[in-house]
Amino acid sequence: MLVLLAPGQGSQTPGMLSPWLEVEGTRERLTAWSELAGLDLVELGTVADAEAIKDTAVTQPLVVAASLLAFEVLADRYPLPDDLVIAGHSVGELAAAAAAGALTPDDAVALAAVRGREMAAACDLAPTGMAAVMGGAPDDVVAWLAEHDLTAANMNGAGQIVAAGPIEAIDAIVAEKPDFVRKVIRLKVAGAFHTSYMAAAQDALRAKAKEVTVSDPAHTLLSNADGARVTGGAEVLERLVNQVTLPVRWDLCMATMNELGVHATAELPPAGALTGLAKRELTGTTTAALKTPDDLAKVAAALTTADEE
């Protein structure tokens, strides 16, 4: 069984779309998505520097477009297995939902543009931030964060929890670092994503979502909220909206992957982070990070491995 992973914000790198635009038809596809997003995704994905693509309003639609561009190339070249499992991290859930057939790719990119733009605006309403806490028992880390009025916004598994909340509280945990954690790293992000500080962005996304037509997923689709399989299109869309202010439970998504017997993972561009987590948490799983079209052969091998298990 193969699980297809769609990464989230922070995975972007300058020039990440350049090799994909060498594939016939992809430039036209990205140009069309640029119109939907109100951004030049071609320029942003090829020649823009790291500073230009770190803005939340830019990054989110760019990352979703990158994943879907590669997914369409993948699906065109290789038959996808009927038992395919798909999961996305944070904004990557929009790409995952489209890959699973619950959303159209056009709607996924348009929703990502609204999500990114409105989350960037919400970050300006209060001084907030995030920090990665490495190591420590999850329950101990969550309790420690609560003492500082912080939320465990991303529980990523493999000993990684991301704290989010008021900037002064982030400063405090970076300075304090108790003995039961390995290290605390301040993240270069605009604000406290996946917390109540994003409520205004959630309202804006909910309004946009009313314009979207959904379908039931054609493949197994896992939710960040609880790692559960979501089978109804309306529920997929509702969970995508709610996730703006809810923690990302990637640890539970990986636990479900284990329960389903997943033996191989393939991460869509901009690939790397989720593959690293899979290597540490999904013991014995074959992994493939799809960074360029040259990596498609790795996915074919992963498909073969999954079929043989």
- Note the pLDDT of residue 283: 85
* pLDDT value, residue 304: 64
**Is the pLDDT score of 73 beyond 70?**
yes
- Using the 8-state DSSP alphabet, how is residue 80 labeled? P
Domains and CATH numbers, the chain: 2-123+196-308 (3.40.366.10), 128-186 (3.30.70.250)
pTM value?
0.95
Candidates 11, 34, 89, 194; catalytic one: 194
Active-site residue (options: 67, 90, 223, 263) = 90
What pLDDT is recorded for position 305? Answer: 56
Q: What is the mean pLDDT of the chain?
A: 94
Mean pLDDT in residue range 166-181: 94
Backbone angles phi, psi at 238, to 5 degrees: -60, -40
Is 73 in contact with 266 (CB distance < 8 Å)?
A: no
Residue with tokens 């016939």: 24
Q: In sequence order, what are the residues at sequence separation of 6 or more whose Cβ sits closer than 8 angstroms to the Cβ of residue 185?
A: 131, 132, 134, 174
Mean pLDDT confidence for 266-270:
95
- Please confirm, yes or no, whether 90 is among the known catalytic residues: yes
Concerning whether 148 is annotated as a catalytic residue, the answer is no
Q: 113 pLDDT exceeds 90?
A: yes
Who wins on pLDDT, 81 or 85?
85
Which pLDDT tens digit goes with each residue over 220-266? 999 999 999 999 999 999 999 999 999 999 999 999 999 999 989 99
Does the pLDDT value for residue 173 go beyond 90?
yes
- For the chain, where are the alpha helices, taking DSSP H only? 26-37, 41-46, 56-77, 92-99, 105-123, 138-147, 167-176, 199-209, 233-242, 250-260, 273-281, 296-308
- 22 in Cβ contact with 46 (< 8 Å): no
Looking at residue 303, its pLDDT comes to 66
**Predicted confidence (pLDDT) at residue 97 exceeds the cutoff of 70:** yes
160-166/128-134 β-pairing: antiparallel
Confidence grade of residue 284 (pLDDT, cut at 50, 70, 90): confident
pLDDT in tens, 127-144: 999 999 999 999 999 999
Residue 180 to residue 137: CA distance in whole angstroms: 8
Q: If you average pLDDT over residues 52-60, what whole number do you get?
A: 95
Q: How many CB atoms lie within 10 A of CB 9?
A: 23
Question: So what's the pLDDT on residue 301?
Answer: 77
Model pLDDT, residue 80: 87
Percent of the chain with pLDDT over 90: 88
Average pLDDT over residues 26-39: 97
Give the pLDDT score at 193: 97
